[in-house]
């Protein structure tokens, strides 16, 4: 009887785990290959290459505006915050705030992020995948 219950639980849980892994991988793909979040949010090594051991932990940009005198450039933000659950943003916004931001492009106060953060308006399933990937980066 016990082993039947165990087998049933495993049969239910294994596909779920496989699905979670797939979602995290898809989220990583969206973040790295489509959104290119790491270009701004991951610190770089001295060589200038992205330090993948610190994925999305927050960074100071290595580029700046060409026309700093433009009015719009006053909002230029040279620091990109950490996006992993270990960062302050996650504490402040919680998972729901980050998910919502990725869907609407609006922060919990209803405003947009400063440049050069692009505005993304993702499908809920894609935002869920990125959030799942961000969670997987918890140290």
Residue ranges in contact with ligand HEC by CB under 6 A: 31, 35-37, 39-41, 77, 80-81, 83, 89, 98, 101, 107, 113-114, 116-118, 120, 130
CB of 106 to ligand HEC, least distance (A): 8
Whose Cβ is closer to ligand HEC: residue 22's or residue 42's?
42
Question: Which tokens sit at 19?
Answer: 């699905």
- Contacts (Cβ under 8 Å, ≥6 apart) of 61: 40, 78, 79, 80, 116
Q: Which is nearer to ligand HEC, 17 or 121 (CB)?
A: 121
Instruction: Give 15 or 118: the residue with its C-beta nearer to ligand HEC.
Output: 118
Q: Which residue is nearest to ligand HEC (CB)?
A: 35
Dihedral sign (CA 46, 47, 53, 58): positive
Contacts of 3 (CB under 8 A, 6+ apart): none
Report in angstroms how near the CB of residue 53 gets to ligand HEC at its nearest: 19
Distance from the first to the final alpha carbon of the chain: 39
């Amino acid at each position: 009887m016990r082993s039947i219950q165990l087998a049933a639980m495993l049969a239910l849980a294994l596909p779920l785990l496989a699905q979670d892994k797939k979602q995290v991988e898809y989220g990583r793909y969206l973040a790295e290959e489509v959104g290119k979040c790491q270009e701004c949010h991951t610190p770089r090594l001295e060589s200038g290459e992205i330090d993948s051991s610190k994925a999305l932990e927050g960074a100071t940009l290595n580029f700046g505006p060409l026309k700093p005198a433009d009015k719009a450039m006053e909002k230029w933000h040279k620091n990109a915050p950490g996006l992993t659950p270990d960062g302050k943003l996650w504490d402040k916004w919680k998972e729901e705030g980050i998910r919502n931001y990725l869907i609407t492009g609006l922060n919990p106060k209803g405003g947009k992020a400063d440049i050069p953060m692009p505005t993304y308006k993702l499908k809920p399933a894609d935002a869920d995948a990125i959030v799942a990937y961000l969670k997987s980066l918890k140290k």
